[in-house]
Structure 1
Amino acid sequence: MYLRFTQRTNADGSVVRYVALAHNRRVDGKSKPDVLMNLGRIDRLDVGGLLGLAASIRKHFGDGLDNCGQADDAVEIGQHAGSAPIEVVDSRPVGAVWLLEGLWRHLAVASAIKKAADGRRFTTNMERVLFALVANRAIAPMSKLSAAEWASQDVIIPGLAAMDDDQAYRAMDLLVEADTQGEVQEAVFFAVAHLLNLEVDLLFFDTTSTYFERDEEESGEQAFRTYGKSKDHRDDLPQIVIGLAVTREGIPVRVWCWPGHSNDQSVLEQVKDDMRAWKLGRVITVVDRGFSSADNLAYLRRAGGHYIAGMRMRDGGALVEQALSRQGRYQQVRDNLRVKEVRLDGAGDVRFIICHNPDQEQRDKQHREQAITRIEAELERIRAQREREARRELSAKAREKAETAHVRAECALRDHPTLKRWIRQQKNGRLVIDRAKVKAEERLDGKYLLATSDPDISTEDAALGYKNLLEAERGFRDMKSELLLRPIFHRLEHRIRAHVLICWLALLLTRVAERGCGQRWPRINRELSRLSQVTLAGPAGTVIHTTPLRPAQRAVYQALSITPPARVSVFEPA
């Protein structure tokens, strides 16, 4: 029931307002007001009598409580006769954390952590602390000290009232110890595969690197933070190498960490052995050109395994020449992809597939022409300046200085990271455009070469499967940008591994959320963060309410089969 106000305009222009006690009833599918009692004109109303009636109702029935002691869905906030006001004493967002909590339990992460903590004596639930760290990484990534404050004061973490940074570090140590042999990742993987009915016949693997904010690397044979070829273009900082295996749906199923000087060719054996221990059955491993050495590909075929591998084309060699010289018609796979299978002499049962992207062909041609134009302009500038200096009457010292400047400009052009590939240095030291290299590159525009050992996979599926390797690259990109994997400030190796595992778990939860509701995680996070839990305190006690669900928020929970937070979660009588 509610108070319904109406008004009437008199002939003299004055307005008279009326009030009535009413409720809504549904007629022919529509809600219409039904007046229960007319209370009369507002200017003639017995306000004191109505307030006394309200006080009597509150005296007998309390502040919105039914006879079972449960809080009503609507609590009126205001000043009533003979009572103190109800105050808002706390308000925190709960929507995104609640979603991640549901996924955390569905994916068996909670049970895996609890199993590892059995028999340990902790003053705080370490599984809850780890969930808080993972949720923080997904929602608002920050340092471990700030994450502890965030979990204690800024959000609602179910089952965790507060935590500090020491507890965060102990939880990280427990996570690394529990996952020494990949037990946590294995339990999570099979839970995800069962929940989402994942296809794991194709697993995509790639590596990246991340750096540390310090200038010196560790020393010794067991050094972890070392200098190496940085994929973040920070060769000046120590780093580690991170490997990630994902399914064709983009779900990350396992993560690895290696010392910063590890190269792609040296880590694939461990990846193959670790995945074989999970006994997945028929699995085709998809790798990029950095892993396509003969030894790596042979190792991937052990125990009945197969691979789809990108091959290096710009290095030349007899293999590439044979593939490009084979005649045959391309098969249209998609608007921007054509494929052609070729058989090469001496390759055994390995199949080779040439893929051609017409759009990429135009981009490659445009980039090369822009580079050639830039080189020609720079060479012409150096030549013209050298001729002007030759016509001028200069001292020997001035001529030597001018020639040094010319040579320095040529050296800068020769060593340019993107232009040097098109330049050739003659015997007299002068630079010219390598026309043979330009002509050879024209044959490769928009093309890339694949090799597969699987005799059953179709040419189309092999090509499209290799394109899905971009999912691993997208995982690295999101870990570094949205989850703030880098830079890492930890010093101890096991803490570094724990940090990477936490980022992997956050990526896993966000990917499952994205796949379930068809939206990107930043959009989901932004929408659900508007759902809050409000703590109200009054004479009758304290009650915790959740703000009403919006349609978009309800749709996310329904898509992922997660029950949203209750409207009233806690009531503590005074």
Structure 2
Amino acid sequence: PCSKRKTCSDIIPSLWEDYSISYSQSLDALSLLGANYEKIVEILTNRTAEVYSLDTSSVFFDCTNFYFEIDAEDLLRRKGPSKENRTDPILGMDLLLDRRCIPIGMRLYPGNQSEKPVLRSAVKDMKKHLSLQGKTVQVADKGLNCAQNIYEAKKGKDGYLFSRSVKTLPQIEKEWVLKDGDDEWKWVYDEEGKKKYRYKSCIDMFSYSFVMSGTGKRKKFSTKEKRIATFSPKLAKKKKMEIAKMVSKASRLCTSQAKKSEYGESAKYMRFVSIGKDGAESGNEVAAEINEEAIAKDMELAGYNMLVTSETEMEEKEIYKVYHQLWRIEESFRILKSELDARPVYLQDGNRIKGHFLVCYAAVLLERIFQILILKDRFSAHAISELIRNFNVIQTNRLQYVNTGTRTPLIEEMCKYYSLPLNNYFLTKGQIKKVLGYRFTPLP
């Protein structure tokens, strides 16, 4: 999954088997795949379920987007909030993982669409395509936490586990989170006995409301919910450093009389006031000053987080553990964007673009199956990518090849359990075919 011109000029010629595929043929193949990408994702998911089985008692969901360095928008690539804070047209991608963090769904959508409705349709489609009847707990971050997603989850007899920003809580709930009673907070320690995080929880009926699409009427409902407040010293330290960095940037710009647009994210710690020549707050001049109140509020909330869930019987530490599996989705997006060279995308046709990201998704799926189900999560995705990229041989004569790969812990493990000659310096054609044709079973 990289530039298709590079695929044809560099990747395909270096493969063990001989393939004769032209650049135009690869583009035609992408068009065919892209036109049917949703069907192919469904086929991949069902086949994964047949071979390995899937655990959909919990599903993890998140979205990302990919920018395109083009001027004009089209039906697929539209301007919207970019993850890289760029102004180029973007394409949105959602990713759905099962409880073991195996990809089970992917969809592409125009970059100007909101991410929140995508969660509802993704879970609905997954249950339909896999013929699932049981309860599924939807896990997502605060960006996807909205009243309608909670309502639809309950309506579909599913559960939910979302995070929520403490900053946006009503004052009475914010005071409960920040209250430092030793009898309420419970510390969790790591293996070395150091404080990892602390938590406290409550169960109550909470009210929500949202405007229904189509009718424009406001829907109100109440639901029984467990809320867990957490505080992480490590996260608090990181957040405070980020705040200090933004304040420092704002202070430097303030002294140089920079434009408001130059402050970026640090603008939230500034106060911009129109002043006249007499210094009064009126006129055409704009003065910038540090907003000490905003800084103090964010410093106070640094390290705190809120988890809200319908699973009132689930233990707090288990809820925390399940939620923090979301990092797997973030890692999957990083794999796409870095390890697998999913960007930049030089394609223009909509179906070819979809075909490109389908190839990327299939690569991530295969890598995750190998990492989590075969290698039992003992090695990182980066280690697997390095193995794939660096397993190269050079032919010295008609029957013998030289292995130029580097010895790594992953290769050592595979040699030990699968008796593969990955560490051999000299390899025969038969040995190479054995490696490439090997069917892996899970590590003991």
User: Shorter-normalised TM-score: what interval?
Assistant: 0.7 to 0.9
Q: Which segments of 5 or more consecutive residues in structure 2 lack a partner in the other structure?
A: 190-194, 208-222, 274-279, 423-428, 435-444
In 2: Cα distance, 1:561 partner to 1:243 partner: 39
CA distance in 1, matches of 2:151, 2:35: 33
> Does 2:283 correspond to 1:422?
no
Q: Percent identity?
A: 20
- Residue of structure 1 in register with 2:22 after alignment: 164
The equivalent of 2:213 in structure 1 is none
2:150 maps to 1:297 = yes
Please say if 1:479 is aligned against 2:336.
yes
Structure 2 distance, partners of 1:244, 1:568, is: 35
- In structure 2, the CA distance between the partners of 1:554 and 1:437, relative to structure 1 (3 Å rule), is closer
2:212 is equivalent to residue 357 of structure 1? no
1:89-488 equivalences under 5 Å are: 137=1, 141=2, 143-150=3-10, 152-157=12-17, 161-180=19-38, 182=39, 184-193=40-49, 195-196=51-52, 199-218=55-74, 223-235=75-87, 237-277=88-128, 278-280=130-132, 281-318=134-171, 320-321=173-174, 323-324=176-177, 329-334=184-189, 335-344=195-204, 346-347=206-207, 348-369=223-244, 371-372=246-247, 375=250, 381=255, 409=257, 411-412=259-260, 416-425=263-272, 428=281, 430-488=287-345
Change in CA separation of 1:271 and 1:320 when aligned onto 2, cut-off 3 Å: farther
How far, CA to CA, are the matches of 2:262 and 2:204 in structure 1?
A: 37
- Hey, what's the Cα distance between the residues in 2 that align with 1:568 and 1:311? 52
CA contact (8 A) 1:308 1:453 kept: yes
Partner Cα separation in structure 1 for residue 314 and residue 112 of structure 2: 35
In structure 1, C-alpha distance between the alignment counterparts of 2:245 and 2:387, rounded to whole Å? 44
**Residue 178 of structure 1: CA displacement?**
4.4
Higher deviation after alignment, 186-195 or 356-365:
186-195
User: What secondary structure, in the 3-state scheme, does the structure 2 residue paired with 1:418 have?
Assistant: helix
1:513 to 1:226, Cα distance in 2 relative to 1, 3 A:
same
Give 1:436 deviation, angstroms: 3.1
Q: Which amino acid aligns with 2:104?
A: V
* Partner SS state of residue 264, structure 2: coil
**How far did residue 503 of structure 1 move?**
0.4
Q: Report the TM-score, using the length of structure 2 for normalisation.
A: 0.76
Structure 2 distance, partners of 1:360, 1:371, is 17
Instruction: Name the amino acid aligned to 2:185.
Output: Y
- 2:366 is paired with a residue of what secondary structure? helix
SS in 2 for 1:436: helix
C-alpha contact 1:513 1:560 (8 A) present in aligned 2? no
Which sections of structure 1, spanning at least 5 residues, go unmatched? 1-136, 383-408, 538-542
Superimposed CA distance per residue, residues 2-27 of structure 1 (whole angstroms, 9 cap, x where no aligned partner): xxxxxxxxxxxxxxxxxxxxxxxxxx
Rounded to whole Å, the distance in 2 between the matches of 1:282 and 1:195 is 22
Alpha-carbon spacing, 1:193–1:319, altered in 2? closer, same or farther (3 Å): farther
Partner in structure 2 of residue 73 of structure 1: none
**CA deviation after TM superposition for structure 1 residue 481, in Å:** 0.8
Q: Give SS of 2:301's match.
A: coil
Count residues in correspondence. Answer: 388
Q: Quote the offset at 1:496 in angstroms.
A: 1.1
- Judged with a 3 Å threshold, the aligned counterparts in structure 2 of structure 1 residues 374 and 415 are, in CA distance, closer, same or farther, namely closer
Given that 2:367 and 2:384 are in contact with CA atoms closer than 8 Å, whether structure 1 keeps it comes out as no
Is the 2:253–2:263 contact (alpha carbons within 8 Å) kept by the matching residues of 1?
Answer: no
What CA distance in whole angstroms lies between the structure 1 residues aligned with 2:111 and 2:126?
Answer: 22
Give the TM-score normalised by structure 1. 0.60
- Equivalent-residue separation in structure 2 for 1:480 and 1:436 (angstroms): 38
Deviations 1:121-170 (A, max 9, x none): xxxxxxxxxxxxxxxx3xxx4x223313445521214xx53222233233
Q: Relative to structure 1, is the Cα distance of residues 323 and 283 closer, same or farther in structure 2, using a 3 angstrom cutoff?
A: farther
Work out the CA distance in 2 between the residues paired with 1:376 and 1:232. 24
Counterpart CA distance in 2 for 1:566 and 1:497 is: 38
Equivalent residue in structure 2 for 1:534, among 384, 395, 414:
395
Superposition deviation, residue 504 in structure 1: 0.7
In the TM superposition, residue 461 of structure 1 has moved relative to its aligned partner by 1.5
